[in-house]
Amino acid sequence: MLILGLESSCDETAAALVTGDRQVLAHRLLGQEAAHAPFGGVVPEIAARAHVEALGPLVAAALTDAGVTLAQVDVIAATAGPGLIGGVMVGLVTGKALAHAAGKPLVAVNHLEGHALSPRLADPDLDFPYLLLLVSGGHCQLLLVQGVGRYRRLATTIDDAVGEAFDKTAKLLGLGFPGGPAVERAAALGDPRAVPLPRPLKGAAEPHFSFAGLKSAVARAVGKHSPEDLAASFQAAVVECLLDRTARALAAVPEAATLVVAGGVAANRAVRAALEALATKHGRRFVAPPLWLCTDNAAMIAWAGAERFAAGLTDPLDMPARPRWPL
């Protein structure tokens, strides 16, 4: 079983070839950081045009890397949402065209399901159900992953996503774009106790997350502390909030033997280390995908396509793009 995956929902254009037995034969990715950097964030129109230019050559390159032709591909999987509508349409229409031309089935993948199932691509022993902390630029959720297409949302953010908080903090500190990795690098040079920052919803009876107040507190402290101390204090506050909320959820789902983290913010080493210690404390196994599989990529889309296809799920060629699409 050979699956071609396409991803274009935000600012990464990507194509990958993955087998049903978890081999990543090729994964190509082109980031658009340079195009968006002058604006301090992703500009949807620029992103969509860049996807149009990049996707065809990336698919061709991935096929060459894997040493296969389109005719040898069994399934085409493309992100159909959620994300920026222009970009999603580029990837989905490309996927439909390839599926139609090659006479192969199409699987329209929810980008969040790509993140949610990506840990199973990296770890063959990861069985359902597991507790997933999904932390990305657009989302911050705790999900009980019960099976393919079976997700029970236990918590979400009531304001900003956690990656968004990293990106806004980076902007406030003048650390550039994209913000997450820049904040992590600066934090390594600072004192996490230097700046007193709030821990929104820590200890709250409700299960959710909140990061807007933390971002505002950083904004008020800018100029009074070094960017390194601010970055370190911000990251420490984020980690504490994530741990508190995840600990609460772990207690609520004793059936989940494993704690899993996925999404772009899962690439953060402080976040990974803290969650691993939490899992150990609660007697659960901990799984985090390799760093390249945390941030947006097409291998996770191909893998979600493989899992959905194996479950008998395919989609018609008139499947619409869905800019908003909760799991």
Contact segment (CB under 6 A) with ligand KG4 among 175-183, 199-207, 215-223, 253-261 equals 175-183
CA 184/CA 224 separation, integer angstroms: 20
Member of 32, 79, 136, 157 binding ligand KG4 (CB under 6 A): 136
Structure tokens at 66: 């894997």
Q: Does 289 bind ligand KG4 (CB under 6 A)?
A: no
Choose among ligand KG4, Zn ion, none what residue 190 binds, the Cβ cut-off being 5 to 8 Å by kind.
none
Q: Does 167 bind Zn ion (CB under 5 A)?
A: no
Q: Does 264 bind ligand KG4 (CB under 6 A)?
A: yes
DSSP notation for 237-291: HHHHHHHHHHHHHHHH-TT--EEEEESGGGG-HHHHHHHHHHHHHTT-EEE---H
Choose among Zn ion, ligand KG4, none what residue 265 binds, the Cβ cut-off being 5 to 8 Å by kind.
ligand KG4
**Binding string, 239-278, against Zn ion, x = CB under 5 A?**
----------------------------------------
Q: Does 239 bind ligand KG4 (CB under 6 A)?
A: no
Cβ distance to ligand KG4 smaller for residue 47 or 66: 47
Q: Does 178 bind ligand KG4 (CB under 6 A)?
A: yes
Sheet holding 258-262, edge to edge: 150-155, 140-147, 130-135, 258-262, 285-287
CA contacts within 13 A on the Cβ side of 302: 31
75-81 and 106-110 strand pairing: parallel
Q: Does 137 bind ligand KG4 (CB under 6 A)?
A: yes
H/E run at residue 27: strand 24-31
**Binding string, 135-154, against Zn ion, x = CB under 5 A?**
-x------------------
- From the CB of 254, what's the least distance to ligand KG4, in Å? 29
- Find out whether 253 is annotated in a ligand binding site: no
Give which of 113, 55, 57 is closest to 83, Cα–Cα: 113
Q: Does 237 bind ligand KG4 (CB under 6 A)?
A: no
**Residues 6-25, interacting with ligand KG4 (CB under 6 A):** 10
Q: Does 163 bind ligand KG4 (CB under 6 A)?
A: yes
Cβ distance to ligand KG4 smaller for residue 116 or 256: 116
Give which of 65, 78, 57 is closest to 4, Cα–Cα: 78
SS3 15: strand
Neighbouring-strand partners of residue 261: 133
Residue 253 to residues 23, 151, 271, 275, 294: CA-CA distances in angstroms? 31, 13, 21, 16, 24
Binding site feature residues for Fe cation: 111, 115, 296
- Give me the residues that bind ligand KG4 (CB under 6 A), please: 10, 136-138, 163, 166-167, 178-181, 184, 263-265, 267-268, 295-296
Residues of each annotated binding site for substrate:
134-138, 167, 180, 184, 268
